C-alpha cells in the first residue's frame, strides 16, 4: 500500500489532532453547562414560594451585597388584587459626579395567577413604552430583562416570577448591565441554596 493511500485511510480526527482537542473541549464545556442548568432546574422545582414565604429570608442578605453600596430596607404596599406584602432593599452608590440607585423588591400574592398577572402588567408596561433593549438572563424562573438608555444614565431591570412571588432588581444611574446582572446572579444563587 502506498503512503498516499495510507494517509487517506486515516480518520479525520487522526489527521487533525489540534482541532480534535479543541472540539473535545467545546463538547465538555457544553456538557458541563447542561449539567449546571439541570441542577438549577432541580433546585427550582424544589423551591416553593407561596403565601407563607417570609420575604425577609429570601431577599439577598446584606453580607452578600458588595460593600460599595449604602443599604436601606423596608416593607411596602401595592394596590393589586391578591397582594399580601412586599419587601425591598434599596442600594445606593455615589462616586463624585455620578451615582447609582438599585432596588431589589419582592411582592407576595395569595395565588399564583395573581402574581402572574402582576408580572405581565409590569412587563407589558415596559414593552408598550418601547425604547428598550431586551437582555438575556440565565434563570430557572420566568424572567424579563431589559436595558434602557436615558441620556447619560441607564435603566436596567430584571423582573421575574415564581409561584406566588414577583421579584425585580432595578438599577438607575451610571451603571453597566453587568453590575445589575451580577446582583441578579447573587439573588438567584441565594434563592436556590
Beta carbons within 8 Å of 75's beta carbon, 6+ residues apart: 85, 86, 87
Segment (H or E) for 71: strand 70-76
pLDDT at 174: 78
Q: How confident is the model at residue 37 (pLDDT cuts 50, 70, 90)?
A: very low
- Give the separation between CA 30 and CA 166, rounded to whole angstroms: 31
Return the closest-CA partner of residue 47 out of 155, 184, 179, 165: 165
Question: How many other C-beta atoms can be found within 10 angstroms of the C-beta atom of residue 83?
Answer: 18
DSSP-based three-state secondary structure for 55: helix
Task: Locate the domains of the chain by residue range.
Answer: 3-46, 55-192
Looking at the predicted structure, is the pLDDT value of residue 5 above 60? Answer: no
Q: Mean pLDDT, to the nearest integer, of 183-192?
A: 85
Residue 81 contacts residue 117 (beta carbons within 8 Å):
yes
Q: What is the pLDDT of residues 105-153, one digit of tens each?
A: 999 999 999 999 999 999 999 999 999 999 988 888 899 999 988 777 8
Is-contact 119 161, C-beta < 8 A?
yes
**Cα distance between residue 48 and residue 21, in whole Å:** 43
- pLDDT tens-digit profile of 61-99? 899 988 988 999 999 999 999 999 999 999 998 877 778
pLDDT at 57 over 50: yes
Please give the CATH number for the structural domain made up of 55-192: 3.40.1000.70
| Residue 27 reports pLDDT greater than 80 | no
Amino acid at each position: 500500500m502506498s503512503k498516499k493511500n495510507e494517509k487517506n485511510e486515516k480518520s479525520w480526527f487522526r489527521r487533525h489532532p489540534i482541532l480534535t482537542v479543541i472540539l473535545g473541549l467545546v463538547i465538555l464545556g457544553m456538557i458541563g453547562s447542561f449539567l449546571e442548568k439541570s441542577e438549577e432546574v432541580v433546585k427550582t422545582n424544589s423551591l416553593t414560594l407561596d403565601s407563607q414565604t417570609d420575604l425577609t429570608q429570601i431577599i439577598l442578605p446584606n453580607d452578600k451585597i458588595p460593600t460599595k453600596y449604602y443599604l436601606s430596607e423596608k416593607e411596602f404596599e401595592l394596590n393589586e388584587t391578591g397582594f399580601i406584602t412586599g419587601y425591598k432593599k434599596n442600594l445606593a452608590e455615589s462616586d463624585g459626579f455620578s451615582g447609582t440607585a438599585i432596588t431589589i423588591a419582592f411582592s407576595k400574592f395569595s395565588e399564583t395567577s395573581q402574581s402572574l398577572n402582576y408580572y405581565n402588567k409590569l412587563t407589558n408596561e415596559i414593552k408598550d413604552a418601547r425604547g428598550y433593549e431586551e437582555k438575556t438572563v440565565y434563570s430557572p424562573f420566568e424572567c424579563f430583562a431589559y436595558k434602557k438608555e436615558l441620556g447619560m444614565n441607564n435603566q436596567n431591570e430584571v423582573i421575574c416570577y415564581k409561584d406566588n412571588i414577583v421579584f425585580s432588581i432595578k438599577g438607575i444611574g451610571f451603571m453597566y448591565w453587568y453590575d445589575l446582572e451580577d446582583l441578579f446572579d447573587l439573588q438567584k444563587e441565594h434563592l436556590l441554596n
